[in-house]
Amino acid sequence: MTAQPPDETGPMDDDWICARLGEDEPWILGAVNPPVFENSLFTFASATELGEAIKDEDERYVYWRGTNPTVDLAQRKLAALERAERAKCFASGMGAISATISSLVSAGDHVLVLGAVYGPTTQFLRYLEKFGVAHTHAGDLDACERAVTPATRLLYFESPSYMRYEIFDIPAVTRWAADHGLVTVMDNTWSTPIFQKPLTMGVDLVLHSLSKYAGGHSDLVGGVVAGPSRLIRPLALTEYQLYGAAMSPHDAAKVVKGLRTLPVRMSAHQERGLAVAAFLEGHPAVRRVNHPGLPSHPGHRLAARQMAGFSSLFSVELATESRAQVAAVVDELRHFRVGVSWGGFESLVNAPALTVEESVRVTMGVPVGLVRLSVGLEPAETLIKDLDGALQRITP
């Protein structure tokens, strides 16, 4: 499909946003790659003009800590992709998560966490306990109903959820939260804005780790939060600057380049990921495949309604309770590298039972035999052959 520019009466085309939005600005001067503004500050004709700019440092170029033309270009593209009024890029995904949560709560407040979420997110919520912010984990909306209190201010969740890839009914979650006066924040890294747009389903703020699919080449660390100006602007003027998590213009330039190929890459990730998942679903050494793109997944029909596609990060539960056998499978793999993160060209494998503390694994509800796979852009046949050989290490 040929990307078309947006018109004033219809929605923007994601392909056009990724490839062209903001890249015809006068300061780009026709360059095929937008320039990287390396300067740490911008000067003004008078002290009065500087003073006025400082009051609006999120939108005026003053100092790197506020914004920068290269970073601003990445933010405009990401906001448009998520159908948001504004977006703010951070130096890491956790920078975006911690600043966003901090901007919404105060001492004495309570946060509800729906389903399994990224481990460091829970760690940050535990950190906030010393400042008088409590949190409760709930598995579904019924549990949320039992856990909500007059002090609850925020509902935080991921869909698909972390490690188990459960699907939540996003419109139902946001309606429930609105009925209770809660702000909703959702991590949308798994799907990217190409496959899912939570803000159009009532979510207030959406987060991404840009280190994953958005960047796409395992060469940057970054995060973003997108949503309405009424929530983004206070965060940008306060937590963003005080926490010192400003994105560098070099990383922003990598985000811009990554977004250019995001629609094509996500299509390829989906194709390869589903091929590998379908193979594993029928393998005798595998008890279960947690991939919402498979018809056998309990949340598949719901996912198909609220998502436009499926990425290639999923988990499998091996037919073993032996850590030694799990380690043998992981070590036997040759085309899946052992490592954290995901979303790049390379395929990766991670086994929580071998890499996280036992108490954390139990709290997460992750079986010993669970292995997370990130299917990259190598040929699916190569990856399937690799997995088939490694799974021979599972014995009765």
Q: Residue 301's domain spans which residues?
A: 262-393
Structure confidence at residue 106 (pLDDT): 98
Whole-number percent of the chain with pLDDT over 90: 83
CA 40 to chain centre: 28
What is the Cα–Cα distance from 232 to 85, expressed in whole angstroms? Answer: 9
Q: Which of 215, 225, 212 is nearest to 341 (CA)?
A: 212
307 within some domain: yes
Residue 210 lies in a domain: no
Give the pLDDT confidence score for residue 56 in this predicted structure: 82
The reported pTM is 0.93
Q: Is residue 306 part of a domain?
A: yes
In a domain, 135, yes or no: no
How many domains in the chain?
1
191/144 Cα distance (integer angstroms): 24
Residue 184 has a pLDDT of: 98
Pick the range with the lowest mean pLDDT from 60-64, 195-199, 274-278: 60-64
The SS3 assignment for 207 reads strand
pLDDT digits (tens, 9 = 90+) for 284-306: 999 999 999 999 999 999 999 99
pLDDT at position 261 over 50: yes
Alpha helices in the chain (DSSP H): 14-19, 47-54, 69-81, 93-104, 119-127, 141-147, 170-179, 192-195, 229-237, 239-242, 249-281, 300-306, 323-332, 352-355, 358-364, 380-390
pLDDT of residue 11: 52
Alpha helices in 82-204 (DSSP H): 93-104, 119-127, 141-147, 170-179, 192-195
Decide if 375 is inside a domain.
Answer: yes
Confidence of residue 151 (pLDDT cuts 50, 70, 90): very high
Q: Is residue 122 part of a domain?
A: no
Q: Is residue 327 domain-resident?
A: yes
Does the pLDDT of residue 95 top 80, yes or no?
Answer: yes
Domain CATH code at residue 295: 3.90.1150.10
Residue 108 lies in a domain: no
Cα of first residue to Cα of last residue in the chain, in angstroms, is 50
- Tell me the three state secondary structure of residue 26: helix
Q: Which of 58-72, 183-197, 348-362 has the highest mean pLDDT?
A: 183-197
Write out pLDDT tens, residues 30-75. 888 899 999 889 999 999 999 998 888 878 899 888 889 999 999 9
Q: 60 to each of 24, 57, 230, 292, how far by Cα in Å?
A: 20, 5, 18, 43
Q: CA dihedral in degrees (153, 123, 220, 291; nearest 10)?
A: -80
Residues 92-116, mean pLDDT to the nearest whole number? 97
Residue 10 has pLDDT above 70, yes or no: no
Write down the mean pLDDT value for the chain: 93
